[in-house]
Amino acid sequence: MSESTKTWRKAVSWLILLSACLLPAAAEETNAPLTLDQAIEIALSRSPEALEAGWRQEEAAAQADLNRSGRWPTLKARAAYDAYTEAQRLSQASSTGDAGVFGSDVLAGELALSIPLYTGGRITSGIKAADLFRQAAEGQLTRTREAVVFNVTSLFYGMLAQREVIRAVESAARAMEEQSRMISDQVAAQKAARVDLLRAEVRLAALRESVTKERNTLTVQQRAFAAVLGWEDSAPPVVAGDLPAPQTVAAPDPTNATAVALARRADYVAARQTVEAHEHATSSVRAGYFPTVSLQAAYGERWMPNPSDPDSGGDTDHGVGRVGLVAEWPLFEGGATRARVREQAAKLGVARERVRKLELQVRYEIETALADFTSALDRVETSAKAVEQARETFRIIKEKYDLGKGTMTDVLDAQAALVQTETSTARALADLVLAKARYQLAMGEMKR
Do the Cβ atoms of 83 and 105 come closer than 8 Å? Answer: yes
User: 32-72+120-290+340-443 belongs to which homologous superfamily?
Assistant: Outer membrane efflux proteins (OEP) (1.20.1600.10)
> Helices 122-188 and 48-68 meet at what angle, rounded to 10?
180
E strands, 90-164, where? 102-118
C-alpha to C-alpha distance for 410 and 273, rounded to whole angstroms: 65
Query: In a structure prediction context, what are the per-residue pLDDT tens digits for the chain, which is 448 residues long?
Result: 444 444 444 443 434 334 434 444 444 444 689 999 999 999 999 999 999 999 999 999 999 999 999 999 999 999 999 999 888 888 777 776 677 788 889 999 999 999 999 999 999 999 999 999 999 999 999 999 999 999 999 999 999 999 989 988 898 888 888 888 888 888 888 877 888 888 888 988 998 999 999 999 999 999 999 999 999 888 889 999 888 888 888 888 888 999 999 999 999 999 999 999 999 999 999 999 999 999 999 999 989 888 877 666 667 788 889 999 999 999 998 999 999 999 999 999 999 999 999 999 999 999 999 999 999 999 888 888 888 888 888 888 888 877 877 787 888 888 888 888 888 888 899 999 999 999 999 999 887 5
| Whole-number Cα distances in Å, 322 to 76, 82, 111, 298, 301 | 15, 21, 11, 5, 12
* pTM of structure: 0.79
Please tell me the distance from the alpha carbon of residue 146 to that of residue 355, in angstroms, as a whole number: 19
For the chain, which residues make up each domain, given as ranges?
Answer: 32-72+120-290+340-443, 75-85+101-118+292-329
Give the right CATH number for 75-85+101-118+292-329 from 3.40.5, 3.90.550, 1.10.287, 2.20.200: 2.20.200
Query: CA-CA distance, 431 to 249, in Å (whole number)?
Result: 11
